[in-house]
Amino acid sequence: MNDTSISFNLDNNAFRGRIVRLDNVMREIFTHAQYPDNVAAAISETTALGVLIASLMKFDGIFTLQLQGSGPISVLVADVTSAGKVRATAKYDAKAIEAAQVLRKTEGEIEPTPHWLEHGNLIFTIDQGKNTELYQGVVDLKGKNLEECALRYFKNSEQIDTYLHLYLDKVGDVWKSAGILIQKMPQKGGKDGADDENALKELWNEDKILMDSLKKEEIFNLDLKEVLFRLFHEHQVRVSKEQEYVFGCRCSREKLQQTLSSMKPEDIEDMVENGKITATCNFCGQVYSFDKGELLKH
Ligand SMILES: [Zn+2]
């Protein structure tokens, strides 16, 4: 299975983890919309992180990971439903990306995602539908790469010791992505002495070192359970759950009609071409067409 996350635990449940790989989901995202190479890589990395974090959370609805910034990429968004449907897109200024690469002498290189957003935030939202509270977490987008930004979130907002790696691989025109994460489980009360504490610290450090040894070729090419066994066979690795993901968009003519209808009448007039207003979904490329009368309030 190529689009999947596997839940596992280590060292007799002292730590929990997730490993994720996205292949066809990314292929579909890039079939529906074309992006400059750096934007595509950033979308793919953001999607892997989104799926990784969504897979840690219990929810029934939509999990959204959004990065917002003041740079050439202003928005990166990936959302994941509890049923495993994934979509992602970006807002960006292609000219500003080119100009930044000329200035930094990095033409043709793939730069870390936070470079493109500059100052901004990383936001997690869980929407469980009508009559439920929106759960939201926000952290400054600080770090030399997306891994560091995500670790900051876990440290500041969740206060759970977490370690993670994200991977990108370009095959043909498609940026595939993958990730692995481990977390300390909340301490159980009881007879935890200093010895246990030290032993746990040692195991945690060993697991982090093992994670550092994981190569890109392995996470993209091997069976993910095999990857886990190879890495953690001396740390009582146990696989508990597997979830599959597919590309899926939630746009509809009705939703778009609602959004467009809320615009100012003069802005709607500006969009009219040959008597029609057409709008394209950024996520899936679906084109919707409206008569002016459908959008203007009477
Ligand atoms: Zn759509």
- Give the residue from 210, 226, 247 where a domain finishes: 247
pTM above 0.85, yes or no: yes
Mean pLDDT taken over the chain: 92
Asked if residue 146 and residue 56 are part of one domain, the reply reads yes
Tokens matching residue 207:
């697991």
Give the whole-angstrom CA distance, residue 68 versus residue 77: 9
The answer to whether 89 and 33 are in contact (CB under 8 A) is yes
- Residue 288: pLDDT over 80: yes
Asked if residue 109 and residue 133 are part of one domain, the reply reads yes
Asked if residue 126 and residue 64 are part of one domain, the reply reads yes
pLDDT one-digit tens code per residue, 70-99: 999 999 999 999 999 999 999 999 999 999
User: Looking at residue 67, which CATH number applies to its domain?
Assistant: 3.55.30.10
Asked if residue 110 and residue 82 are part of one domain, the reply reads yes
Asked if residue 221 and residue 94 are part of one domain, the reply reads yes
Residue 39: band (very low, low, confident or very high) from pLDDT cuts 50, 70, 90: very high
- Cβ neighbors of 102 (< 8 A, separation 6 or more) are none
User: Looking at residue 260, which CATH number applies to its domain?
Assistant: 3.90.1280.10
CA of 36 to the centre of ligand 1 (A): 20
The residue behind tokens 């509270």 is: 133
Asked if residue 143 and residue 280 are part of one domain, the reply reads no
Range of the domain at 287: 253-295
Asked if residue 186 and residue 287 are part of one domain, the reply reads no
- Cβ neighbors of 98 (< 8 A, separation 6 or more) are none
pLDDT for position 231: 97
CA of 267 to the centre of ligand 1 (A): 22
CA of 249 to the centre of ligand 1 (A): 5
- Residue 259: pLDDT over 80: yes
| Poorest-pLDDT segment among 108-117, 256-265, 289-298 | 289-298
pLDDT for position 194: 67
- Residue 25: pLDDT over 60: yes
Asked if residue 63 and residue 179 are part of one domain, the reply reads yes
pLDDT for position 156: 85
CA of 224 to the centre of ligand 1 (A): 30
Domain total in the chain: 2
CA of 182 to the centre of ligand 1 (A): 33
Asked if residue 261 and residue 224 are part of one domain, the reply reads no
**179 or 258, higher pLDDT:** 179
CA of 280 to the centre of ligand 1 (A): 8
- Please list all protein residues whose beta carbon sits less than 5 angstroms from ligand 1, which is an ion: 249, 251, 281, 283-284, 286
Residue 1: band (very low, low, confident or very high) from pLDDT cuts 50, 70, 90: low
Residues above pLDDT 90, as percent of the chain: 76
- Mapped to the 3 state alphabet, what secondary structure does the chain carry? CCCEEEEEEECCCCEEEEEEEECHHHHHHHHHCCCCHHHHHHHHHHHHHHHHHHCCCCCCCEEEEEEEECCCEEEEEEEEECCCEEEEEEEECHHHHHHHHHHHCCCCCCCCHHHHHCCEEEEEEEECCCCCCCEEEEEECCCCCHHHHHHHHHHHHHCCCEEEEEEEEEECCEEEEEEEEEEECCCCCCCCCHHHHHHHHHHHHHHHHHHHCCCHHHHHHCCHHHHHHHHHCCCCCEEEEEEECEECCCCCHHHHHHHHHCCCHHHHHHHCECCEEEEECCCCCCEEEEEHHHHCCC
CA of 126 to the centre of ligand 1 (A): 19
Asked if residue 138 and residue 270 are part of one domain, the reply reads no
The residue behind tokens 């002495």 is: 193
Asked if residue 266 and residue 207 are part of one domain, the reply reads no
Asked if residue 99 and residue 52 are part of one domain, the reply reads yes
pLDDT for position 296: 82
pLDDT for position 187: 67
